[in-house]
Structure 1
């Protein structure tokens, strides 16, 4: 089979039809733009607008905390209005808020614009996940895996472009990266406009699994789902460990070279690109997704123990232990992404799918704010704190496994067939 035929075969096997492929393009462009700006944001605020490091910390912390509200708000709106229109509005608001940063050096306005942009930023994560659940239907586990792979490729492309631009370290370079990210939001809004509106179970049919007048009135009164979301916030800590904890640990607690930190992040992206899609088949049903919580616990244990061991030897033992930690925690990230994706949809009643997934989005948003604080506290406590954190992650895996046991549907599908796009 030639390269062109192989590519055509791969494209045909992407769930969701043409709209699914367009949304993958949206994910790639979105993350490429984010990769451009994420590295440069703190430098822009310090070198271009004249903010101090403390002021930048306040700006990022406050805007991140405000952004937490974006996830549940997006879910509620998606149950009441056409999903594509809500997503387009979020993308355009992201563009407007980011571009507004160019218009002022006033610290109060910069904080206001950053906070305004963080709301649709967090909302977009929930909305794209909800779109995938509706357009890909029973193939959503594979689709989400492909989406994460494409997103990681976008991050890599954006990060490489940013590194080249930042070598100049000029105001023009920082502004160019900001404008590049702004344009990416405009482009994905235009692409989303071409996507058909997928069937929304909350507006098409009542939830056939829950008799009228019974069951929780919504996610905020659903104790099981709220507890599940709380356990999710803990399990999302792998992100903070990899992105924040590992670089700081390398510098302050090991004899490994500082240059190892970016190499391990590259390794993380490569592993996700190679293995996220193959791993998806192990979480294609609610029962299978629940079973993944056991290997997830093992990966968390290995990763955190390796972090502790890395501080006990010389240069090469530290490099070996940190590489093992990065590999284990990356597999934990991929396994959790697969299980979390399927279980969150399985636990959400069709009549309020958007609202439930919006509340679930609070887990990742909360981790972005609290995760760095937890990880830096572990680093300050020393090597023995890593196994303690690992034990907490393992306990959370087992607690979540028991928590969801009686709420998962018995059949292979966790959503009614109405969520399948007409393209399927």
Structure 2
């Protein structure tokens, strides 16, 4: 990890926010590894009830991204982020304390809302403090977060060996405690002021001038970009649902290969995400990455289709190639998305725009599993179509952002009195 931490953009505050990411993800890893088991064996919920809880959190998360981004253009960012982390802690503690299903639904919704809002605010903070090095900073942040997630998951696996109700409760308390710790560390970071407040005040006048900040909801080009990015986030659903389900149902690969594929994804991200970030350090470079990204998605779809066409050896090799190609696509898209989502947004409304962009990932968490299961149900042809469709979306986005990147970012307009 030495090459990752050698030079952190953002100075002391950048390093502190990386600690926040680590602590947050360790706690989230504890909960992610045990949530379904907790609801099943401790809360005694049925399959449909557990699914409804997960869906409720996902739906609430869709609202969290734009609301958090909008507030970030108006309120101190570090205090706002700390408040959402405390909200997540209260939601986690509520899951532990409540025996009523309706209250569990409320806590799940609050937790999902706070999670997506905090994610957008963390990205926005990194954007503001890292400046021109924002892509590299986000790459380091993602590497640290992946490491924290792995530590949390391994810790949960060890603890679950005891198999007692008390262990499940302690792991959930650990998740809540991680959010409280993250909030306390966040409050030690200097605030990163919204450019909209700076622009509104002007360089000489001490009295803020009324301005009309651009709205992402009226920006058709940015909304179109967000929709295409939603499609490119489908690699997440592949690793959460598609790869494992396809491997065990439709190929002759040994079942023991499934965890290897997931570990391979984590190892590659930790090893390569930061080095790959330098290929998208400018808007033009990030746009060019959409072309190899298109190739990676197409190759991944073909490899998934090929895994169903032979014996265990061919299936295993094809799945390893598919997992590698999808991971490369995941890393390249992360670099492209970090840069373009900011470069296409007016500086004075970064929070609102990044909040709307956050809808892409939140919406994908709902539609992604459906798209992946549809590919599985259709068989090898389904995976070929899946990879080709996402690859084609890369080319659409490549063309879509060309003109926007040539124009200067919009500034707030004075409000006519």
Q: TM-score, normalised by structure 2?
A: 0.93
Q: Deviations over 1:338-383 (max 9, x none)?
A: 0000000001101111000000000000011111111111111111
Deviating more after overlay: 104-113 vs 92-101? 104-113
Confirm whether residue 289 of structure 1 aligns to residue 268 of structure 2. Answer: no
**C-alpha separation in 2, matches of 1:326 and 1:11:** 27
Distance 2:103 2:290 in 1: 44
1:48 aligns with 2:42: yes
- Answer yes or no: is 1:105 the counterpart of 2:99: yes
Indicate conservation of the 8 Å contact 1:378/1:386, yes or no: yes
Question: Aligned partners of 1:343, 1:150: CA distance in 2, in Å?
Answer: 22
> Structure 1 residue 173: deviation in Å?
1.3
Deviations 1:66-120 (A, max 9, x none): 2210000000000000010110000000000110111122111111111111111
CA contact (8 A) 1:141 1:284 kept: yes
1:360 lines up with 2:354 in the alignment: no
2:261 pairs with 1:264: yes
CA 1:333–1:10 in structure 2 vs 1: closer, same or farther (change >3 Å)? closer
8 Å contact 1:207–1:350 — kept in the other structure?
Answer: no
1:161-200 CA distances to partner (integer Å, 9 max, x unpaired)? 0111122222111111101111100101010010001232
C-alpha distance in 2, partners of 1:127/1:409? 27
Cα distance per residue 1:312-360 (max 9 Å; x no partner) = 1101111100000000000000000000000000011011110000000
Decide which of 119, 124, 136 is 2:118's aligned counterpart: 124
Distance, in Å, in 1 between the alignment partners of 2:298 and 2:4 is 36
Aligned to 1:420: none
1:241 counterpart (227, 238, 242) = 238
Moved over 3 A (4+): 9-12, 212-217
Contact 1:93 1:117 in 2 (8 A): yes
Matches within 5 A, 1:138-177: 138-177=132-171
Match of 1:343 in 2: 340
Decide whether the 8 Å contact of 2:242 with 2:369 is kept in 1.
yes
- After TM superposition, the structure 1 = structure 2 runs for residues 399-410 of structure 1, keeping only pairs within 5 Å, are 399-409=396-406
Partner of 1:13 in structure 2? 7
For residue 180 of structure 2, what is the aligned residue in structure 1? Answer: 186
> Are the counterparts in 1 of residues 77 and 193 from structure 2 also a CA contact under 8 Å?
no
Instruction: Return the alpha-carbon distance in structure 1 between the equivalents of residues 163 and 89 of structure 2.
Output: 23
In 1: Cα distance, 2:249 partner to 2:121 partner: 39
Shift in Å, 1:213: 12
Instruction: Give the C-alpha shift of residue 206 in structure 1.
Output: 5.5
1:85 aligns with one of 61, 79, 82: 79
Q: Is the 8 A contact 1:50 1:105 kept in 2?
A: no
Q: How many residues align?
A: 405
CA distances 1:37-66 after superposition (whole Å, capped 9, x unpaired) = 001111111110110011101111122112
Q: Which residue matches 1:198?
A: 192
Tell me if structure 2 keeps the 8 A contact 1:272–1:334.
yes
User: Do the aligned partners of 2:200 and 2:211 also contact (CA within 8 Å) in 1?
Assistant: no
- Closer, same or farther: CA 248–404 of 1 in aligned 2, 3 Å: same
Note closer, same or farther for the CA distance 1:162–1:381 as it changes in structure 2 (3 Å cut): same
2:214–2:349 Cα contact (<8 Å) kept: no
- The 5-angstrom pairing of residues 284-323 of structure 1 reads 284-323=281-320
Distance in structure 2 (CA, Å) of the matches to 1:214 and 1:90: 28
Cα shift at 1:261: 1.2
Distance 2:52 2:402 in 1: 41
Q: Could you say if the C-alpha distance between residues 129 and 140 of structure 1 is closer, same or farther in structure 2, counting changes exceeding 3 Å?
A: same
| Higher deviation after alignment, 294-303 or 96-105 | 96-105
Could you tell me the TM-score, scaled by structure 1's length? 0.92
1:64 maps to 2:58 = yes
Unaligned runs of 5+ residues in structure 1 are 1-5, 417-424
